[in-house]
């Protein structure tokens, strides 16, 4: 075991359009240890999905300009991999599940075929042996009546069932990194909880590292080890989940927490939710200085002048804000830190 983290991203920048002029992700760096869960948090359009898609190398060929100082996964330099090597890693070393399980499954192919394919693309075995593995993984994700579902088509299953199929498909080759891009957003709340529970159970069993993309801080509190907050294409704060929730050190994180509802049975509601004023600036019209300056309640003159550098708050907790003490303990949510 070397000292190298399992996944290491340094200075990831992704541009779209002519010459990559529209930079949807700027200078993003983070590490992830094996078996841990990192939550990427932020509003729609903040660059969470683009970051994840870049790790998987799933941008349409020629559409995105991906640059980074480092992008290493399990000792492999992803920046040096060509399309062939990437497709060998995709599905085996790293896998991804998506927001909408209906549109993410091929409507014309059976569940059994799609699951078997995920396996046979990476492992040589007979159809019979593959079917046995598919049955096993279907039971693992608690699909009732798995044998019959093999010959079913996606439209014959419920939303929660489809997302279980997606999870089964992602995990069938036991990848060491799973990227989950808002996997519960399109599902009912009760189904959401089941899916989250299933993911963390499978993570414990297989030791999978998870990058979980969400804008739901309730979900973050459930599953995260570490949190990275994105705003307008950049990371603005990162650290262990309890540190971020109890002591947010960036105006945006603090705003997100204040805008999150929590309902505890038997307790009175904690008052009105606060919204973050204004909108996310477009990538071509970022303000001078801190990108959040125009919406920040605590902005001072210097915030308009220079882009803040990373600043350590406590060990492992850093933010890109020059006023990190201003926000106070605003945590609206109770964090259950699992031992």
Partner 1 sequence: MSNFVVRRLLSVIPIAFIVLITVFLLLHIGPGDPAALIAGENATRDQIEAIRERLFLDRPLLEQLFLYLSNVAHLDLGQSVYSGFPVLKLILQRVEPTAVLAVSTLILSVLIAVPMGVWGAWRAGSAIDTFLIVASVVGFSVPVFVIGYVLVDLFALRAGWLPVQGYKPLSSGFWNCLRSITLPSITLSFLFSALVARITRATMLEVLAEDYIRTARAKGANNRRILIVHALKNIGVPVVTVIGTSFAALLGGVVITESVFNIPGMGRLTVDAILTRDYPVVQGVLIVFSFVLIAVNLLVDLSYALFDPRVRQ
Give contact residues for partner 1 (rule: CB under 8 A): 56, 58, 84, 87-92, 95-96, 98, 100, 103-110, 117-118, 121-122, 153, 155, 166, 169-170
Cβ closer to partner 1: 36 or 116? 116
> Which two structure tokens, joined as six digits, stand for 227?
């949190």
Of residues 211 and 280, the one with the C-beta less far from partner 1 = 211
CB of 73 to partner 1, least distance (A): 14
| Smallest gap from residue 132 Cβ to partner 1 (A) | 19
Nearer to partner 1, 178 or 227 (CB): 178
272 burial level (CB within 10 Å; 0-12, 13-18, 19+): exposed
Closer CB to partner 1, 98 or 327, in the complex: 98
How far apart CA 280 and CA 259 sit, in angstroms, is 15
Task: Using the minimum distance from each CB to partner 1, give the nearer residue, 10 or 65.
Answer: 65
For partner 1, give the closer residue by CB, 104 or 234.
Answer: 104
Could you tell me the smallest distance in angstroms from the CB atom of residue 102 to partner 1?
9
Looking at the Cβ atoms of 118 and 280, the one nearer to partner 1 is 118
Shortest distance in whole angstroms from residue 62 CB to partner 1: 9
Closest CA to 254 of 306, 295, 207: 295
Query: Judged by CB, which is closer to partner 1: 96, or 143?
Result: 96
CB of 24 to partner 1, least distance (A): 17
Q: Report the C-alpha dihedral over residues 225, 271, 236, 297, rounded to 10 degrees.
A: -160
**Least distance from partner 1 to the Cβ atom of residue 6, Å:** 19
Task: State in angstroms the smallest separation of the CB of 58 from partner 1.
Answer: 6
Output the smallest distance, CB 188 to partner 1, in A: 20
């Amino acid at each position: 075991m070397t000292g190298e983290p399992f996944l290491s991203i340094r200075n990831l920048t992704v541009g779209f359009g002519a010459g990559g002029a529209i930079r949807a992700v700027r200078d993003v760096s983070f590490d992830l240890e094996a078996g841990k869960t990192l939550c990427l948090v932020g509003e729609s359009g903040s660059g969470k999905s683009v970051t994840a898609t870049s790790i998987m190398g799933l941008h349409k060929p020629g559409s995105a300009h991906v640059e980074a100082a480092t992008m290493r996964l399990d000792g492999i330099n992803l920046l040096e991999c060509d399309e062939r090597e990437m497709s060998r890693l995709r599905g085996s070393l790293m896998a991804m599940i998506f927001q909408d399980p209906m549109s993410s499954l091929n409507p014309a192919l059976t569940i059994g075929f799609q699951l078997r394919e995920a396996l046979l693309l990476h492992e040589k075995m007979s159809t019979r042996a593959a079917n046995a593995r598919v049955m096993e993984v279907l039971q693992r994700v608690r699909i009732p009546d798995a044998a019959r579902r093999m010959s079913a088509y996606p439209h014959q299953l419920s939303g929660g069932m489809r997302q279980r199929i997606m999870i089964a498909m992602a995990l069938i080759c036991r990848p060491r990194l799973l990227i989950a891009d808002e996997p519960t957003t399109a599902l009912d709340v009760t189904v959401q909880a089941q899916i989250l529970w299933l993911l963390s159970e499978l993570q414990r069993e297989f030791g999978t590292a998870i990058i979980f993309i969400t804008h739901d801080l309730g979900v973050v509190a459930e599953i995260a080890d570490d949190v990275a907050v994105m705003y307008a294409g950049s990371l603005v704060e990162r650290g262990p989940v309890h540190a971020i929730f109890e002591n947010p050190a960036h105006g945006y994180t603090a705003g997100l927490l204040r805008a999150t509802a929590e309902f505890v049975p038997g307790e009175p509601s904690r008052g009105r939710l606060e919204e973050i004023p204004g909108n996310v600036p477009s990538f071509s019209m970022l303000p001078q200085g801190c990108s959040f300056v125009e919406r920040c309640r605590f902005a001072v003159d210097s915030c308009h002048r220079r882009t803040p550098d990373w600043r350590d708050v406590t060990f492992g907790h850093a933010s890109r804000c020059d006023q990190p003490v201003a926000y106070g303990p605003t945590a609206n949510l109770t964090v259950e830190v699992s031992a």
